[in-house]
A and B are shown apart, each in its own frame.
Chain A
């Protein structure tokens, strides 16, 4: 077991731990911090298996841009807002059940595919260095990337619609 393996293990555990805390924490700021911890740990894992470009963008875009805006907004929220401390309510048990099913399915798939997956460093040696990555990205994947941004826009609209709906429900 090399130092890299130990570090990958450490970052994996900390990523999962961050995810669990993110789900369990009540206060939005704690949730944001846990999410940041998860993202940083994932970036560590990516960097250790040689996907430097992905690791850097994970920190640069998700933590440096997205989460900074999240923290900025949460900072400005009313601190006295006690709704953040409410219990999960009716959706808690269905959510746990669905999460359990998801973990089982993923675990099953991973178990089956585990034997046939190539080791992380084989074959993509150099593909995820910054220069080849950006060249391939701008040559082949720019359209997919732009389409993904449209999906994000739809997601934002959906979130607004959900919030509006619940507001109307509150009266």
Chain B
């Protein structure tokens, strides 16, 4: 039993480290990619000077994230004289923690055999194997939605407890926007569940390791391309980012429900938003891009179409699967940032109308067509 605990703790450490790193690096990616897209040089001012020399390490502006973090940590922490200080402080955590919790059910690799990986410990692990997933729960996808619902409460509580009209407006917008787009998100995912026949994310990833038409990988994006577009749209709206950033629109609501938060409390909201980009990347990868699957890569090695097996050592397979997942995740993150710097903001009524009169019927249509197709194919 203690072995299981050790492995789970290692997984949790990996997930936390990976997500926080993603969150920190994405702040830099957002600036650098924006600069690339608008043909600027971009974030390149922050540097570390080696002591007693004139050597400045710029590293393409990677230190900007560190400068941000330091600034947020050291800034004076202004707090409004609100009527409910408890709710005001709680809101930050209610918005931040569920985002991290979602990752608990996402499988980020295949099967891990710790005994084979670290031979000296083989005796202690007694040949146990673990799937690379913090919580292998059969209700995986439902857990994702359950936790996503909690973070809505965080945003609304923040706006309410700030005792500021801009914040309240932001919270109002956040509540209605998140609820509307969560309906779309759930209906989109139902089509996938019909095809995969599972809500367990590991079973979903394993389903996608096959092929369709003999050569295409059976990834969600191949069997449900339309759902992929809907899912990505609705999840960007769930993350309250451009073009759906009405709840914290800087120019009209002074960042909405975050207005009254300063220093690291504001930083938590921002970091939560960036981590959510990574989480959306992870979910999209799991649901539509085959998760940790590299074409033809199995737990034993590369199984080529001809039936030929190129055996690989276990450690290499594990690293390959981890890297595949991270690479796909990074790609989806980068695409989200591409969207953020390409599209202008919706107007508020357009945003809600878009959800209820466009995305919702399209999601229902997708579901109906999928149901018919699944029924016809049998």
**Which A residues contact B (CB, under 8 angstroms)?**
2-3, 27, 29-30, 33, 36, 40, 52-53, 55-57, 59-60, 63-65, 67-68, 71-72, 74-76, 79, 129-131
> Which residues of chain B have C-beta atoms less than 8 A from A59's C-beta?
143, 146-147, 149-150
* Interface check B172, CB cutoff 8 A: yes
Which of the listed residues B156, B163, B200 has the most CB atoms from chain A within 10 Å of its own CB? B156
Q: Which of A27, A56, A67, A74 contacts B142 (CB 8 A)?
A: A56
Show 26 residue pairs from A and B whose CB-CB distance is below 8 angstroms, ordered by the A residue: A27-B84, A29-B157, A30-B84, A33-B87, A33-B157, A40-B150, A56-B139, A56-B142, A56-B143, A57-B142, A59-B143, A59-B149, A59-B150, A60-B142, A63-B146, A63-B149, A64-B152, A67-B153, A71-B157, A71-B160, A72-B156, A75-B160, A75-B171, A79-B163, A130-B139, A130-B199
Q: Which of B5, B83, B157 contacts A79 (CB 8 A)?
A: B83
Q: Is B84's CB under 8 angstroms from A29's CB?
A: yes
* Interface check B148, CB cutoff 8 A: yes
**Closest beta carbon of chain A to B210's beta carbon, Å:** 20
A29-B87 contact in complex given A52-B138, A75-B175, A130-B138, C-beta closer than 8 Å:
yes
Q: Is B149's CB under 8 angstroms from A64's CB?
A: yes
A72-B175 contact in complex given A52-B138, A64-B145, C-beta closer than 8 Å:
yes
Q: Which of A30, A60, A68 contacts B153 (CB 8 A)?
A: A68
Nearest A residue to B4 via CB reads A3
A145 to B111 CA separation, bound complex (whole angstroms) = 40
Say whether chain A's binding surface is mostly helix, strand, loop, or mixed: helix
Nearest B residue to A70 via CB reads B153
Nearest A residue to B147 via CB reads A59
Nearest B residue to A32 via CB reads B153
Q: Is B83's CB under 8 angstroms from A64's CB?
A: no
Q: Is B149's CB under 8 angstroms from A75's CB?
A: no
Interface size of B as a range: 20 to 34
* Interface check B227, CB cutoff 8 A: no
**Closest beta carbon of chain B to A4's beta carbon, Å:** 10
> Which residues of chain A have C-beta atoms less than 8 A from B157's C-beta?
29, 33, 71, 75
- Which B residues, 129 to 179, have Cβ-Cβ distances below 8 Å to chain A? 137-139, 142-143, 145-150, 152-153, 156-157, 159-161, 163, 168, 171-172, 175, 179
> Which residues of chain A have C-beta atoms less than 8 A from B159's C-beta?
75
> Which residues of chain A have C-beta atoms less than 8 A from B315's C-beta?
none
> Which residues of chain B have C-beta atoms less than 8 A from A76's C-beta?
172
> Which residues of chain B have C-beta atoms less than 8 A from A64's C-beta?
145-146, 148-150, 152
> Which residues of chain B have C-beta atoms less than 8 A from A71's C-beta?
153, 156-157, 160, 175
> Which residues of chain B have C-beta atoms less than 8 A from A57's C-beta?
142
**Closest beta carbon of chain A to B95's beta carbon, Å:** 13
Q: Is B163's CB under 8 angstroms from A131's CB?
A: no
Q: Is A129's CB under 8 angstroms from B87's CB?
A: no
**Closest beta carbon of chain B to A68's beta carbon, Å:** 5
> Which residues of chain A have C-beta atoms less than 8 A from B147's C-beta?
59
Q: Is A36's CB under 8 angstroms from B83's CB?
A: no
A30 to B138 CA separation, bound complex (whole angstroms) = 33
A107 to B84 CA separation, bound complex (whole angstroms) = 36
* Interface check B90, CB cutoff 8 A: yes
> Which residues of chain B have C-beta atoms less than 8 A from A60's C-beta?
142, 145-146, 149
> Which residues of chain A have C-beta atoms less than 8 A from B171's C-beta?
75
**Closest beta carbon of chain B to A98's beta carbon, Å:** 30
* A65-B149, A75-B157, A75-B159 known, 5 other contacts, Cβ within 8 Å: A29-B157, A60-B149, A68-B175, A76-B172, A130-B199
Q: Is A53's CB under 8 angstroms from B84's CB?
A: no
